[in-house]
Amino acid sequence: MPKITFIGAGSMVFAKNLVGDILSFDELSDSEIALMDIDEHRLEQTTKLAEALVENSDVNATIESTTDRREALEGADYVLNMINVGGTEPFENEIRIPEKYGVKQAIGDTLGPGGIFRGLRTIPTMLDIARDMEEVCPNALLMNYTNPMAILCWTMYEATDVETVGLCHSVPHTAEAIAEYTDVPQDKLEYWVAGINHVAWFLECKWDGLDVYPMLEDAMKDPETYQKDTVRFEMMKHFGAFVTESSHHMSEYVPYFRTDEETIEEMTGTGYAERMSTATYLEGWKERSEDRDDGTLDVDPEEVTIERSEEYASRLIHSIETGTPRRLNLNVSNDQEHIPNLPAEACVEVPCLVDGTGVRPCSVGELPPQLASLCRTNVNVQERAVTGALEGDRDAIHQAVKLDPLTSAELPLDEIHDMTEELIEANAEYLPTLE
């Protein structure tokens, strides 16, 4: 009976789905699940749904909830992290301040000014979690879902002894998209994917032994299909591989798509028009957040049932607990040079073999040089952000923003400096102490 702890369980729907995933496995259905959040109201909402899952499905799991992090972590075997530090105010600053300077982010959670500062405000709490884990559950596996994935996991590898893997659903979601565009069964696709989180590449993709890429290239020629994923199709056309993050996300990580309104309008696709044109993700997030603060449950506890989603967490836990072998794409340290032409300190996303012995990242070999180059532009930003946070180095934070591909394509250095100072001042209460 493993103990599985959720930190940031106030992320109600996501936490409910992950609890359901765990309980969907017979071997995990008697798990001890500890839910923790600093927001009592949201924690109560998640707890109601988790308890309803247990009751409605007649399983033997136990559900505990607490606002005390160390209590939740005590004796844990697995820790799922999904925290959001600071709530609405810093998130809005990270979008609106760059927007004022002309940097038009879509999501702002992975790279760019938004991703950098989200990482900076999250790192102190991540380090506190790690210190607690080192004391009360030193052998637990930390599974991180919080963005910016690479910056946060890199910090954990650099500054803690906690075994950490990063989990993201972008690979299965991309496989689903490829299956749709090529009209092949998703469960029959075989693929080999590697890179960094949100900028990983389908290096191989086959169906019944056939290379899917010619089919994907044909699909791109259909205007209706092209409009579903404009940025990713453009990246494939120019760099030779399909990337693992959606077009509105991917548009933030490169300098090509978000620097003028004409290009933004041209790249606006049918499935993500609002997100491509402006940061409406922020407004939607605020609206959902206010609904939950007002007591609105997105789902009826009497109606919830156990269903298994595409998320990796339950499969990872099940493999370790039962010895069932699986291959999952996870975020891990590149210290064993799983991708030799990316820095050894970086966090990379690679295929990993998982069974009763734990997580074993695969050696991918060198990425095609153009793909490695695109990854390195992001890794450079991540390295400066991690250094700035861990060393309190204000200059490193400035350099991270100045190296960001989108920001540097939009602004001169002096304006980037002023924008970064404004972001530091606006969010100072959440950030590490900077010299």
Residues classed as catalytic: 169
The structure tokens listed for 155 are: 């910090």
Q: How many residues does the chain have?
A: 435
Mode of pairing for the β-strands spanning 163-166 and 358-361: unpaired
Terminal CA-CA length for the chain: 47
CB-based contacts of 110, cutoff 8 Å, min separation 6: 147, 148, 149, 150, 197, 198, 249, 252, 253
Instruction: Please name every residue paired with 206 in a beta bridge, in sequence order, or none if there are none.
Output: 190, 211
From its phi and psi, is residue 337 left (phi > 0), alpha (psi between -120 and 50) or beta? Answer: left
Six-digit token string for 403 = 């190296």
